[in-house]
Structure formats: C-alpha cells, structure tokens
Structure 1
Amino acid sequence: MSHQPLRSIAVVLPLLLLAACGEEVRDSTTRGVTPQADAIDGLFRFSVTLGAVIWLLVMGLLAVPIWRSWRRRGGDAEVAPTDRGPVRLDAPASEVDGAIAVADPTHVAQAEADHRVRNRLIWVGGIILPALVLVTLLVYSSVVGRAAAHVPEDGELVVDVIGHMFWWEVIYEDEAVITANEIVVPVDRPVRFNLTTEDVIHSFWIPRIHGKVDMIPGRTNTFTFTATETGDFRGNCAEFCGIAHAQMVAFVRVVEQDEFDAWVAAQQQPATTGASTDGEQVFIEAGCAACHAVAGTDAVARVGPDLTHLASRRTLAAGIVPNERERLEQLIIEPQAVKPGIPMPAAQLSADELEALLDYLEGLE
C-alpha cells in the first residue's frame, strides 16, 4: 500500500489549519460585541464541548469490548485443545449450549456476563444518555433563544433592511434617512432590524452582532441587539440568492451617540456637490436616474442603491471594492467585470461624459 495519501494529508491538514489563523477577527463568530451574539456563541461552545465528551465516551465504550476480545484470545491460546474435551460437531442447535458447557463451563458464564454488559450499554448508551443530551440541549437552546429574541425597548433605534439582488437597502424611517450596504448604529443603545426582501430569499448575517435571520418575500423578520463595542463589523448574505450571492456584503458600523447624531444630520441633507451641472445632466440623460435616487434632484428611482451621499461611503458594489475613482469608473462602464450577475447595464459614454459623471458622483457628500 502506498503511503502517498498519508503524506498528502500530513502536509495539507496543517496548511488548512494555518489558513484559518490570523490576527483579524472581522467575521469571527466567537468574538461577539452584543449580548445576543455572546449567547449564541455560548450555545455553540457548549454543543462542541458536549459533542467532544460524547465522542470520547463512545470511543471508550468501543475500546472495552475490543480489549476484552484481545484478552480472551490471548487466554484461549494458552489452553490446549485437548483440555476442552470432545465436542460433537453434528449436535443439533438445541444441544449446542449443553455441549459447550460440558466442554468448557466458563464459556457459559462469560456469555452471560457479555449479555448483561450489552443490555447495560443499550439502556445507558442507547436510551438514557441520548435522552439526557437532547433534553439538556433543548433547555439550553430555549434559554439562548429567549436571550436572542426580539424584545421591544423604549428608545430603540429602528432600521429597515431590505434585501435586493445583490445589495442591501437601509432605511431609517424615523430619521428620514435612506442609504445602502453600510449601516451606522450607536453603541450602548437598543437597535431593532426589520428584515425583508424585494425579490428572492436572502439571509442577513453579521456574525459579531447576531445570528442569521432569513429575509423572505412578503414577510418581515426582526431581531434586536445592543452593541457594547464600537467598530466596523462585516457580514454577508447567508442564503444562496444568485450568481453574486458571495459578493453581497454588508457592514454595520457602531459609533458613539454623538457621532451617530452627526452622521444622521449629514445624511438628512440633500446631496451637495462642487462639480458643474454637466455631470448631473449626464446622470439623468444616460439613464442612471431610471434606477438610482439622489435627494434634491429629479432622480427619485428606488430600483438600485440610493446615491445621495455616495462619496461618504467606504465601499462600492455592496461592499466588495473600495470607493475609489478607478473602481467607480469600472463599475459604470463594465459592471459585470466588477460583480458578475449584477442587473446594472453598462453605460455607453464618451470620455468627456464619463469624466463629468465621475466628478459628479465623487462630489456627492
């Protein structure tokens, strides 16, 4: 037998383990920043630990009969065949036990002992232990479910998140703010996300904030959290929704309350741009306004992301590329090259028109 497969495993397995290591905890499911995420992580750790204990116990139970079998074979080898006495090979089945008892009475005692051990294993390992494990997991899961469930609180911030192919629409109804893909919330304040979708099923998941929650057409699912730490926390769509599913990224940015208030005040203002009106005219005439809205202009469509404050966002194309002029240009003229499957058509623009449009979009603070 060749040892090549074993060598390959010995090389590949450490490499896979190293690939999972890193200093960043951007998407970690074990480094929550909310009580809800910590509760879910606790259930995960408990389940893994319990599973490891059960596995060790089962391996131990399997080792016992193997060890006894080896021991019995060693003892049988020391007994000469003549010591066992004659055994009738043509005896009927009803007389076999008697013949074995006459030949070696210890076989009967050993068989009875093995039978008792098997009965105990069936009752303990097959009925009692699984029942205890399932009941324990049920109770713990119920406790975690209650801790992670939505509980209305006074003063909570309500954010509507709507899934699209393949981006996230974000609406702060009470604050009259509409944005996309990047969600800003204050630290130490209850936040409620209302989740739904305009097309297919999506699943909203920010690992360090909360568990996965499905977004189903015609239905609104809700979850609540209170972030205890500031920072940027990345998430993804966790339900396959089409060709660009893996490139449907969302960010939740947790900031201090004062910074959040300032961000809301800026988002409530109409788009401001220092560029000439040439870029805005290109935006309208090239068909961009048929899908995108820019507050304070004639562009009011809601098919694609709202671009009112596009220049203030850190990323483009639902979080997959940085918000840079080169990336923005490529997204306009070759959207499929940036994000395959995106329903955005390529714009047919002259060089001057493209430059004017880029200047306009980069000025939308």
Structure 2
Amino acid sequence: TIITCVSFTFRFFQLRSRRDIISQLPDDLLLRILSSLSLKEVMATSFLSQRWRSLWKLGSKLKIGNKDFSELLVKWISRSLAISNPQILKSLDIKLIPGELDRNINSLYRFSSLVKTAVSCGLRELKIEFLYTSLELPSIFYACGTLETLILCRLHFADGPPNGSLSSLKTLCLLSVKFSRDESVQKLLSICPVLEELVVRRSGYSNVEIFTINVPSLTSLSIDYIRVGSHQPAGVHGFVINAPSLRYLNIRDRHSNYLLFTNMPELVKANVEAVCDQSESLIGSLASVRHLSLCSKSSNIPYHAGTSFAFLEHLELCTCSSECWNLLSRIITDPLTLRVLKLKSVVLVVIFHDGHRFLLKTVIEKK
C-alpha cells in the first residue's frame, strides 16, 4: 500500500511538471477547435486557465441557438463582453424556436440585453432567425454605427424608432420577412444611407403587396420570389425599383403581377426572369447593360422606339414566349458590340412515379 501511494504521488508530480500540450498550440488552431463546440462547451473551456478564459473572445463570432439561450449563459456572455476591449465582436448569429420569446418575458429581456451588449462591442454582422416569430429590436440597435451586415430570416419585423440610422450598413438580407405594412419596408431602407447590397427572398409568409426599393446608394440587388406555398397573394403585388447606382440586378419572380423599374443608368449586368406583363420601363431600364439574361413568359414585352443597347456584349434570351423573337429582332439591330448570343428553350417534362408527379425543367441552349 505504501509503495502504491508513493508511486501515485510520483506520477502525479510527474504529470504536473509536464507542459500543457494543447495550450502550446497557436491561437488560430485553438479557435478552430472552439468553433466546432457548442456555446456551453466554449463556456466550460473558459475555466481551464487564464489563457482560455479570454481565448474565445479572439474568435469574435458568436452563434447562439435555442439550447444556448439560458439566463446563465446570456449573463456570462454579456458580462464577459462588457469587460473586454471595445470593437471585439464581429458577428452574432441568433436562431430561436417558434414562439419562445412570446411565451417568456425573461427571454425577451435576455435577447434585448444580448443585442445591446453586442452593439456596444462594435458588432459588424448580425443574423437573426426567429422561425416566424415577432422581432422587436432594442432602440440602441438603430443607432449602431459599426453594423455592416444585417440578415433577417423568417420573422415578423416590427417597426423601429423614426429617427434611427444604420450609418455603416452595406449589406441587407430580407429572407421571408413579414412587415407591419408596405411602408415599413421603405422605412427600414431609408435609415441605411450607404446600403450597397440588398437580397430579398419572398415567400407565402411575406405580406407586403408592393415592395418599394428606393435606395440611391444600392449597387447590387437580388430578388427571389419563386415559392409561395399554398398562399397566393391577391390583388396587385410586386416590386417598384428605383436605384440610380445599381450595377448588378438578379430577379427571379414567378408570382408578381406588377413590376416597375426606374432610373438604373449604371446597370452593367442583369438577369431577369419574370412572368407578368412588362411595362416599357423594363426594357428602357436595361439599356446600359453589357451582360443581359432575359426570360419572360409574358406575351407582352414592350420595346420603346428610342431604346438602344449600345453597350450590350452578352445576350441570353429565353424562347419560351413568342414575343421574344420580336424583342430579339429589335435588340440585335442596335448594338455593334454584341459578341455572344444564347437562345435558351425551356422544356418542362412531367414524370409519374409511384403515383407522384415530378416536374423537371430542361434548358436547351443554342449559341
């Protein structure tokens, strides 16, 4: 027994004398290890040593799910960030289950507290997914001068204060977002004076009838309105786009019955897929493009007599509408710079298997 105790004591001090191999690894590698752990596990590592206590902060990114949204964990995050150097937090990603914040007022307080702390730490990117739950951000958020990217996904966005300003926001993604009314969209866009990139994905959950995009600084716009589920909007619904600095436009819209394009003289590349009858503003607004891909199943694609594609180099035209041939004959007579012409035929194939119907889309290109 005495020999065993002596052997154990010797082994214990021998292990203590050895250096911690993991702690010798560089910060970049340790941060990669931490990024694969849950937030609770990351919290546990902060108790290992003095170095590990603040190591997770160097990653400058936080991803919080429903399991991480406990009072203890949120307090730990807020307290740890509050005593850190400013400008430490770059990205915050929050995803919560449906209805949790509505049922628990403490959860609302924790969320608000977390966002306030993140804003004070120089937050640059914020992603929030609430799975169709109402979201009301704290008023301090609307004065965040460091936020550059905002991604809102599957939630009901409540109106903010009238005097807000996201002075550094350059990228905004609205993915299946429900607003209080049509004017709420323009209200949000109006407080983003330097916005450059806007991504809009509409779905059956979205409730805006006329989505107005009036952003002078916008250079890139992407709209996806393909899936609406069982809910088909009634009445007039679509988009009004006024973006004088726009250079890149990508629209896939199979449901709108109203599209209005105005004032896009800087447009360089456009990819437009739409089904509604187009106004003359569509073709006129595309006149400055160098690369154009156009697919319209409408039988009415007006071409203004004064429109000229003087800079067009690359043209892809879908032949799914008889009107496309008339449009093609007018376009190719204008530009002397056209180098590439692709005609695309869309073939829909219906396959029945085990009582189910599968719809396949095949694109045949001719150069």
TM-score computed with the length of structure 1 as normaliser:
0.23
**Structure number with higher relative contact order (C-alpha < 8 Å, ≥ 6 residues apart):** 1
Structure 1 or 2: larger helix share? 1
Structure 1 or 2: larger strand share? 2
Please say which structure displays the higher CA radius of gyration: 1
TM-score computed with the length of structure 2 as normaliser:
0.23
